[in-house]
């Protein structure tokens, strides 16, 4: 009889422990990914489909200003954690320009980070902050003859989104590109 009691006690203890573990597992919170957060919400003004007009300022490469037309599509991706960018334009200076980017907010660095890729083979990574309604990102751009600093400044202007690109070749920042993105088509943003 003692042997049967030991087996019953073992079965009872095993049953109680297994049910306790199941109940503990049900009460334990599952791993939760962070939500989009207020820093990411500030990027909402960039979201939409746009037609673009890009003014490239006079430079050593071109004595006069050139203008290009194109389109830009920006959408939330990866559970609204990042802005996915697709940009294409045609202009006399750069020809048929195509670029893709991913913009997000790094909670550890407390910085916005943009990784860009274009059909020239460039892949700069920009870091920066939001000041009011203006997103400012900077990067060091490397090219065969050396490097220079570049600053991107995005802001909303009425229904449009403006992007100004400044280069610093060692004498301070100079405006090199001024782009106006106008909402268009499905997904276009309004005021």
39-183 placed in CATH 3.30.429.10: no
Asked whether the predicted pLDDT for residue 189 surpasses 50, the reply is: no
Backbone φ and ψ for 41, nearest 5 degrees, come out as -60, -30
Average pLDDT over residues 83-100: 92
- Domain map of the chain by residue range? 39-183
Integer Cα distance of 75 and 153 in angstroms: 19
Opening angle at CA 66, ends 62 and 72, nearest 5: 130
How do residues 70-83 score in pLDDT, each as one tens digit? 999 999 999 889 99
Q: What is the mean pLDDT of residues 87-98?
A: 89
Residue 68 near residue 89 (C-beta atoms within 8 A): yes
Q: What is the pTM of this model?
A: 0.78
CA distance 173 to 151: 8
């Amino acid at each position: 009889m003692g042997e049967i009691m030991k087996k019953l006690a073992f079965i009872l203890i095993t049953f109680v422990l297994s049910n306790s573990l199941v109940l503990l597992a049900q009460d334990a919170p599952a791993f939760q990914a962070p939500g989009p957060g207020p820093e990411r919400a500030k990027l909402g003004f960039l979201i939409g489909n746009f037609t673009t007009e890009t003014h490239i300022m006079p430079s050593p490469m071109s004595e006069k200003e050139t203008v290009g037309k194109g389109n830009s599509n920006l959408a939330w991706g990866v559970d609204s954690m990042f802005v996915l960018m697709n940009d294409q334009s045609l202009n006399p200076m750069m020809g048929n320009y195509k670029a893709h980017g991913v913009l997000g907010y790094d909670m550890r660095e407390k910085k916005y980070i943009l990784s860009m890729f274009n059909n020239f083979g460039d892949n700069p990574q920009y870091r920066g902050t939001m000041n009011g309604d203006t997103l400012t990102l900077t990067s060091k751009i490397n090219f065969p003859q050396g490097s220079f600093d570049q600053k991107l400044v995005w802001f909303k202007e009425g229904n449009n989104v403006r992007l100004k690109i400044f280069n610093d070749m060692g004498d301070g920042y100079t405006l090199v590109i001024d782009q106006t993105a106008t909402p268009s088509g499905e997904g276009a943003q309004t005021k």
